[in-house]
Copies of this chain bind each other. A is one copy, B any other.
C-alpha cells in the first residue's frame, strides 16, 4: 500500500480522525487492484475471501437474471465499501458481480483482517454501522420510488450519483455511464431511458459527451424527482 493511497483513505469519512498507524492496522494484508473498464473486481458465485474499498473511479453491482437481463443493484462511489456485510458470515459467496466503470482503483482487505482487526475496533464498528445504515436507507428510498414515473426514477438516480461524486467535481459524472446501465439501474428499457434523456438534452438540462454525463440544471432534475413535472 503506497503513501498516496494511505492519504486518500484517511480522507474518507469512514476513517476521519484515525491515526496513520491505526489505519495501517486496518489494512493489514490488503492489496491494491487497478481495474480496467468493464473488469470485474468480484464475480458472483465466487467464495468471498475479501471485501473492498473503492479508492478511485466507480463500480456497479450487477446481477444477471436467468432471462439474460442485467439488474444493477447499486453504484459504488469512492470511499464506499463492497461486500462488507459478507465478512461477518462464516462462509459465503459474492451474491453479485462487482464491475468497474471506466478505470478504478480498489483496495481489497482480507476477511481475516476484518475478523481480527475491524471487529475489535469500537470506532470502526460504529462507522461500519453507519455505512450499512446508509445502504439500507438507500435501498428503502428505492422502494419508495417504485410507483414513481420513469422520469422521476431516472432523475433520482442521476441526482444521487452527482451528489455522491460531488466533491468539487461540480455536476458531472466522472465515469462512463451508458443509457443501458441507467435502464438496468432504474428497472426500465433502454429505449424509454433514451426518450426521457434526449428530451432533457434538448432542454439543456444535461449534456452527454463520450458517455460522461454532465448535469447543467440540478434544480430541474430535483424538481422532476419530486414529481412536479
Residues of chain B within 8 A (CB-CB) of A89 are 129-130, 133
**A69 beta carbon closer than 8 Å to chain B:** yes
Using a CB-CB cutoff of 8 Å, which residues 111-142 of chain A contact chain B?
119, 125-126, 129-130, 132-133, 135-137, 139-140, 142
**A63 beta carbon closer than 8 Å to chain B:** yes
Main SS of chain A's interface residues?
helix
Q: Which residues of A contact B (CB under 8 A)?
A: 63, 65, 67, 69, 71, 73, 85-86, 88-89, 95-96, 119, 125-126, 129-130, 132-133, 135-137, 139-140, 142-144, 146-147, 187-188, 227
Residues of chain B within 8 A (CB-CB) of A187 are 143, 146-147
Give the distance in Å from the alpha carbon of A119 to the alpha carbon of B124 in the complex.
Answer: 13
How many Å from the CB of A154 to the closest CB on chain B? 14
Stoichiometry (number of copies):
2
Residues of chain B within 8 A (CB-CB) of A69 are 147
Residues of chain B within 8 A (CB-CB) of A142 are 139, 143
Q: Are B136 and A135 in contact (CB under 8 A)?
A: yes
Q: Are B140 and A73 in contact (CB under 8 A)?
A: yes
Instruction: Take A95-B137, A139-B139, A144-B63 as given contacts and tell me if A132 and B85 are in contact as well, using a CB distance cutoff of 8 Å.
Output: yes
Give the distance in Å from the alpha carbon of A94 to the alpha carbon of B115 in the complex.
Answer: 31
How many Å from the CB of A45 to the closest CB on chain B? 15
Q: Are B136 and A71 in contact (CB under 8 A)?
A: no
Q: Are A73 and B129 in contact (CB under 8 A)?
A: no
Q: What are 25 A-B contacts with C-beta separation under 8 Å?
A: A63-B144, A65-B144, A69-B147, A71-B143, A71-B144, A71-B147, A73-B143, A73-B144, A85-B129, A85-B132, A85-B133, A88-B130, A88-B133, A89-B129, A89-B130, A95-B137, A95-B140, A96-B140, A119-B125, A132-B132, A136-B139, A139-B143, A146-B146, A146-B187, A147-B188
How many Å from the CB of A129 to the closest CB on chain B? 4
